[in-house]
Each structure stands twice: as C-alpha cells, then as structure tokens.
Amino acid sequence: MTSTVHRQPQDDDQRPAAPEPGATGRSWQGVRALLVRMHFYAGVFVAPFLFVAALTGLLYTLTPQLDQLVYGDKLTVGQVGEARRPLAEQIAAARSAHPEGTLASVTTPSGPEDTTRVVLSVPELADRQRTVFVDPYTAEVQGELTTWWGSTPLTTWLDDVHRNLHLGETGRLYSEIAASWLWVVVAGGLVLWLGRSRGLRAKSVRGVLLPDRTARGVRRTRSRHAAAGVWLAIALFFLSATGLTWSQYAGERFGRLLDAAKGHAPELDTLLPGATPPAEDEHAGHAGHGGAAAGAEEADADPGDFDAALRVARQAGLGGTVDITPPADASGAWVVAQGDNVWPVHYDQVAVDVDQGEVTAQARWGDYPLLAKLSKLGVQGHMGVLFGIVNQIVLAAVAIGLMVMIVLGYRMWWQRRPTRSDRSAPFGRAPARGAWRRLPLPVLIVGVPAAVALGWALPLLGVTLLGFVVVDIAVGLVRRRRTA
C-alpha cells in the first residue's frame, strides 16, 4: 500500500536559490533572500493601504464625467450664444440672487459651453466658498454650489476620501504610507522577477513582459502578478513620487528641498508702484478664496473693474480661462491668472492696475524653475487632468491593474498554504528569517545608512519599516521560547 504525501506548494521565490559560484553569487543570494522577505511583509501589511488608495483614486479619476452628470445644469449653458455679456452684468445677476458674503473672484468660461463662475467668500462656510454659475450669453443665474478652490461638492468629497478617508489629518497617514511603500514594493518586485536564478540569461523578453501560459498553480499566479508589475512599473513610480510631494511628512521634506534649490514657483508682486505695503494683522493667514478675509464683511469691488482687468490681461497675452481676483486693499493690484491645466498648460499671471490700465508685474510659466515645473505638472498628471481623457484612461487602467496585482499577491499567499491534514493552514508561511545575516559586509555598510537616510526623507516609511523589524524580532523570540 502506498501513501500520498501532500506538500506545501512552492514557487521559485520561496525555494532556496540555486548555488552560484563565487562571492558575487553568494552576495546576490543574501540580497535576494532579504528582498523576498521584505516584499512579502510589505505586500501583506501595506497592500490594503495600496488597494484603498487605488480604488479611491479610480473614483477620483472619473470626477469630470461625474461632475457633468450631477451638476451639468450648472456647469454648462443650455444654448451657446453669439456673444458673451460683460462680466459686470454677470456679476450683478449673481449678486442679485446671492447678496451674502463678499465678491472674492470670477472665473471665465474655459469653453463655449461653460458657465462663468462668480465666487463669493461667505464667513459661515469657513474654508469653502459659494460659487454662483452664470450663463455668459444671457447673464442668467443657473445655480450655485458650495465649492472648495473651484471643486464641486462631489469632487471635494472624493478628493477627501482618496486623501484622508474623511478622517482629517490622521487619515492622511494612510495615503502617505501607501505612497511611501509603493515604489519600494514595485522596485523589489522588479529586482526579484528580473534577477531570478534562471534570470534573463534563460528568459526571453516575452517571458518577462507576458505571463507564462504553460505554468500552473502558484507559478501561474506569480507570472501574471509579475508581468503586470513590469507593465505598470513606470506609472506606479510616478504616482508614488507625485503623491509624496504633497503628503504630510514627506511633503514637508520635499518643500525643504525646493527651498534649498530655489525651486518654488515665482511669486507675483501685487503691490502697486509707489504704494505702501499694508501692516500685517493677526488675521492675515486666514484669508478666504480670492483674498477676502473669511470673517470680514467688506464692500464688493466694482464689477466693471473685472472687465477692465480682463481686458488688460488679454492685451498682455493671457488667453483661455482665467481667474480674476480683486485686491484686498487699495495698495494691491488685481490678479489675473490662467488656469489651463491641460497640456500644453498655461499658468501665466499678471498684476493689473485697473486705474492706469496697465500690467504692473507678471509671472510667466516660462520663468518657473525646472523643479517647480516638474512638481506642478506631476500633480496635474497625478490628478488625471494634464492630458485630458487620455490621462484619465491611463490612470484608471493603472488603478485597476494595481488592484488586480494585489489580489493576485494574496492569492499566491493562499496557494502556498500547507495542504496536509495534520498541518493545514489558511495561508502559506512567511519566507525564512535571518536573511540579513547572509548579507556581505559591503552591502550592510552601504545599506544601513541608506535605509536611515530613506527613513528620514520618508518618515512613515522609516516608522513602518522599524515596526516590521520589531514585530519580526518579537515573533522570532516567541518561537524560540516555544521550541526551547
């Protein structure tokens, strides 16, 4: 009589690497073992954060279409006319329907079917604004929304879900952890996939880029997981980097880098020639959208001056949609800024003296430092607006691809579970401990300081990595006591 032995399925990443001669081979085996263990733990514990970020990011990518579906009667006109009415008439209509608050700014239509946005600073709305949508051809009010820096309530809600899960500053930790680990997981996975013991020497480019159709079980799952990672790697690196630039802690580090490299966008000088700068007050940092103090009831700027400021800006070369913001006091100039986020972008700004009918200062997109340009473009690409619908499709595909990769990763873990009746378990075992002891001294000399530097630059990466190490050591001590 024969007995059947049920073994735990293994893939190549779980098996000991084939012996390779020389110090280089031994060094790679140590590095590879450490990467396998780190990729495993990061995948198991960080993947939920990445999955939530991908899912909420996918929803945010769809906001242009969702906004049109929900708020189309406010965002677009019923019929395109022959000529637009003066801004003064449109503002008068908006203020007649909504006399509350103060006039903060006006945004001209970005296309022939779009409405004009008259933005009001209302004290009760705190950091939000009331935006009145006006038909530019008839000067009729089509509705109003409570907005946040131009975003509709739906877009704002989805943005908060993606950024902090509606948990405030504490919730931002989840998205920063996801962005901090995303590039690490992708880089580690690429190294493991491309540097396996049978590596590129015996593997065609097709075998790297496409799943192995002949494989079965865990190897088939791993092949799909890895091939998807290769295709998505560049996009995932991009999303990780751009997401970190405006995160809570790593973003602060990035801001210091911009300060040191003088990489910030040029600041527009809004002080009128010969004017005395106003004295700073304790409320200066609490201005609402458009420069109006959130708690102040001030008189509106002359609606006709909006037309004058727009006329001067057009003469200065500012085309397309623009934001027109009145000065906070008599010493300031009007600010007219382009807001075209679709490539080729237009971000020129001018300060206008409406009494003299001239530009007093300007900040052109061409004058931006390289780092400022890359940062600005990266953010717009991350938000899915830089290349219009193509940008949205790519981001949606990447988000779906990342979620599929995560599901496949968990499936591999499940497929490696022990199947013997006396040793069954819901999931497979973690890779063997002690990989760091097999690292050669030069790798440790370089790797440890590098890890510390990364932990400083990306604080949540450092904290969570330290947490993994502490948990791993604790689990190892418990197991030793049980076997002692």
Q: Which of 406, 410, 427 is nearest to 8 (CA)?
A: 427
pLDDT bucket at 398, cuts 50 / 70 / 90 = very high
Query: Is 177 in a helix, a strand, or coil?
Result: helix
* pLDDT at residue 482, as a whole number: 76
* pLDDT at residue 421, as a whole number: 64
* pLDDT at residue 27, as a whole number: 62
R_g of the chain, CA atoms, integer Å: 29
- Alpha carbon distance 115, 140 (integer Å): 10
Which comes out higher in pLDDT, residue 119 or 471? Answer: 119
Residues ≥6 apart with Cβ < 8 Å to 284: none
Rounded alpha-carbon distances, angstroms, from residue 225 to 189, 218, 220, 233:
10, 10, 9, 12
Bridge partners, 445 (sequence order): none
Which comes out higher in pLDDT, residue 294 or 78? Answer: 78
Tokens 């242009």 locate to 64
Which comes out higher in pLDDT, residue 15 or 294? Answer: 15
Query: Is 379 in a helix, a strand, or coil?
Result: helix
Query: Which of 178-192, 196-210, 355-369, 444-458 shows the lowest per-residue confidence on average (mean pLDDT)?
Result: 196-210
Average pLDDT over residues 204-217: 84
> CB 148: neighbour CB atoms within 10 A?
18
Q: Read out DSSP for 107-168?
A: E--SSTTBPEEEEEE-GGGTT-EEEEEE-TTT--EEEEEEEBTTB-HHHHHHHHHHHHTTSH
For residue 344, say if its preceding peptide bond is cis, omega within 30 degrees of 0: yes
Q: Taking 60 as the threshold, does the pLDDT of residue 284 lie above it?
A: no
CA atoms within 13 A on the CB side of 104: 29
Q: Taking 70 as the threshold, does the pLDDT of residue 423 lie above it?
A: no
* pLDDT at residue 196, as a whole number: 72
* pLDDT at residue 399, as a whole number: 98
Bridge partners, 362 (sequence order): 350
- Alpha carbon distance 395, 61 (integer Å): 7
Average pLDDT over residues 309-337: 97
Q: Taking 60 as the threshold, does the pLDDT of residue 3 lie above it?
A: no
Residues 366-405 as b or e (16 or more Cβ within 10 Å = b): eebeebbbebbbbbbbbbbbbeeeebbeebbebbebbbeb
Q: Taking 50 as the threshold, does the pLDDT of residue 483 lie above it?
A: yes
Q: Taking 70 as the threshold, does the pLDDT of residue 454 lie above it?
A: yes
Which comes out higher in pLDDT, residue 128 or 29? Answer: 128
